[in-house]
Amino acid sequence: MPESTKGRLLIVDDETELKSALCETLADEGYLTVGASGGAEALEILAAQDFDVVLSDLMMPDMNGIQLLRKVLAVEPNVVGIIMTGQGTIPTAVEAIKAGAFDYVLKPFNLQVMLPILARAMDVRKLRVENQRLRRYIEQLSFESPRYQIIASAPAMREAMQLLEKVAPTEATVLIHGVTGTGKELVARALHHNSPRHDKPLVTVNCAALQETLLESELFGHEKGSFTGAMTAKQGLIEVAEGGSLFIDEVAEMTPALQAKLLRVLEDGHYRRVGGIKELRAGVRIIAATNKTLEEEVKAGRFREDLFYRLNVVCIQLPPLCERREDIPALVEHILATRQLGKVRCQVAADAMQALLRYQWPGNIRELANVLERAQIVAEDSVITLDDLPESVRAPLGPSEPADASPFNLAILERQTVRAALRQVNGNKVHAAKLLGISRRALYRLVEKYALSDLSG
């Protein structure tokens, strides 16, 4: 595609004049356009050429636009579909969105309406292509089980995964930095599992969980009688991990004395058990993690500068969840699949997903997993609704409609659908809930959300 082209559009409409006018007008705006007179012709063209966006009329003789879109997405899921129609209804708009349409626009429309939609569609297209590239990239990594699969669509996570793939096959020491709950141990597991040491142990120690004397004994082992209660000699985790990897979590919590001992392991591979005189040699790869900024700890005198440089050979930065919101839907699906509590896997309602996307997630992925586990327990009919989420996660919702001016914005469609159902049953919420196929609790939430309290007339 030439650099000057904004994108490739396939315009499908059985009205020849409208199709030609659209092709010419959008070509003048910098798009490469091709026209088709119906669904069958469009599929033939798509089989021979690549397109970014399919802009299709809804009502056509051979197949309607929704049927065409389903066929297109089954073959090329990265194409962005936009449905046009002169006879728009709420049910067809909802059906189009469910079929995978990016937008649904009413004819006639002017250029000022269509151009912003196409610009957003091209952004979505680029994101889908990049996500597919990333999925193929991540598929080169292997994971010990589906539970430990890493979800990474956000740019910062893509960078982390690219670095992970490069460093995993090496013997380099790796430092993983990220706030609590961002998945540092998950990355450590992926590093080990994709290394030549994958058939040897991965041993984990959390420096924040043990006192100094216990941590020293855990790491380096001890000899019999080296301290009160040392009735027998004990291997340290460095010995247990022989040939494999040692993951040292919260390494910034180590005392200066232990930092010095770890530094020696990294420098020449030698260490001694507590109370021992025999020199032992470590045959492990060190992976460390911290939620603190070690450069600041060094400046404050709490962390050895030489140890920092030994650990920081390669640093993998993990962003907080609030900075990778595009990953939340995939994370939700992954958590519900790998931490299923009932006989049937739960689904998340649209309003609940919007709340999950809005929330700041101070506890990051760990908090998200806990919220979803709780929601599975309290959910009715295997559908997690807004009411199933903790109060802290529910963002306050105003009664006004969204600012998006599109007549088929999903939130506006939802409001119109609920209002129509209430009017049809003269405001009876029990009957309206049955008509809509939702619980009364969910209906009450929608009534409050959209200020639909008096619709009996």
Query: Which candidate, 45, 50, 57, 44, places its Cα nearest to that of 13?
Result: 57
Please indicate, yes or no, if residue 249 is contained in any of the structural domains: yes
pLDDT band at residue 109 under the 50/70/90 scheme: confident
If asked whether residues 159 and 305 sit together in one domain, one would say: yes
Distance of CA 96 to the CA centre of its chain: 25
Number of structural domains in the chain? 3
Long-range contacts of 372-376 (CB under 8 A, 24+ apart): 372/332, 372/335, 372/336, 372/339, 373/335, 373/339, 373/341, 375/346, 376/336, 376/339, 376/340, 376/341, 376/342, 376/346
pLDDT at 138: 61
Confidence grade of residue 112 (pLDDT, cut at 50, 70, 90):
confident
pLDDT band per the 50, 70, 90 thresholds, residue 400: very low
Whether 397 contacts 366, CB under 8 Å: no
Q: What percent of the chain has pLDDT over 90?
A: 53
Q: Are residues 102 and 171 in the same domain?
A: no
For residue 445, being part of any structural domain is answered with no
Mean pLDDT of 335-344: 90
191/306 same-domain check: yes
Query: What's the pLDDT tens digit per position in 214-252?
Result: 899 999 998 888 877 778 888 999 999 999 999 999 999
The band of 372, judged by pLDDT with boundaries at 50, 70 and 90, is very high
Helix ranges (DSSP H) in 76-182: 90-98, 111-139, 155-167
Rounded-to-integer distance, Cα 216 and Cα 402, Å? 58
Could you tell me if 52 and 83 lie in one domain? yes
pLDDT at 38: 92
For residues 243 and 197, give the distance between their C-alpha atoms in angstroms, rounded to a whole number.
7
- Give pLDDT tens digits for 64-96: 999 999 999 988 888 999 999 887 677 887 788
Q: Are residues 244 and 302 in the same domain?
A: yes
Which range of residues forms the domain containing residue 364?
322-388
SS (H, E, C) 308-331: HHHHCCEEEECCCHHHCHHHHHHH
Say what the pLDDT of residue 436 is.
76
Q: 177 with 307, same domain?
A: yes
355: amino acid identity, one letter: A
Task: Encode 172-211 in three state secondary structure.
Answer: CCEEEECCCCCCHHHHHHHHHHCCCCCCCCEEEEEHHHCC
Q: 73: burial class by Cβ within 10 Å (0-12, 13-18, 19+)?
A: middle
For residue 107, the tally of other CB atoms under 10 A from its CB is 14
Range in 153-157, 371-375, 405-409 with the lowest mean pLDDT:
405-409
Indicate the pLDDT class of residue 23, thresholds 50, 70 and 90. very high
Determine the pLDDT at residue 410: 56
Hunting for tokens 């993690």 — which residue is that? 289
Identify whether residues 234 and 218 lie together within a single domain: yes
Q: Within this chain, do residues 67 and 175 fall inside the same structural domain, yes or no?
A: no
450 lies in some domain: no
Q: Considering just the CA atoms, what is the radius of gyration of the chain in Å?
A: 29
What is the rounded CA–CA span in Å between residue 100 and residue 104?
Answer: 11
Q: Is residue 37 part of a domain?
A: yes
* pLDDT value of position 407: 40
Name the one residue in this structure whose structure tokens are 């709780």: 374
The yes-or-no verdict on residue 404 having pLDDT over 60 is no
The mean pLDDT of the chain is 86
Question: Does 82 lie in the same domain as 159?
Answer: no
Q: Residue 253 carries which DSSP code? A: G
In this prediction the pTM is: 0.60
Clarify whether residues 311 and 329 are in a common domain. Answer: no
| pLDDT the model gives residue 130 | 74
* Structural contact between residues 305 and 263, judged by C-beta atoms closer than 8 angstroms: no
Query: Is residue 327 domain-shared with residue 351, that is, in the same domain?
Result: yes
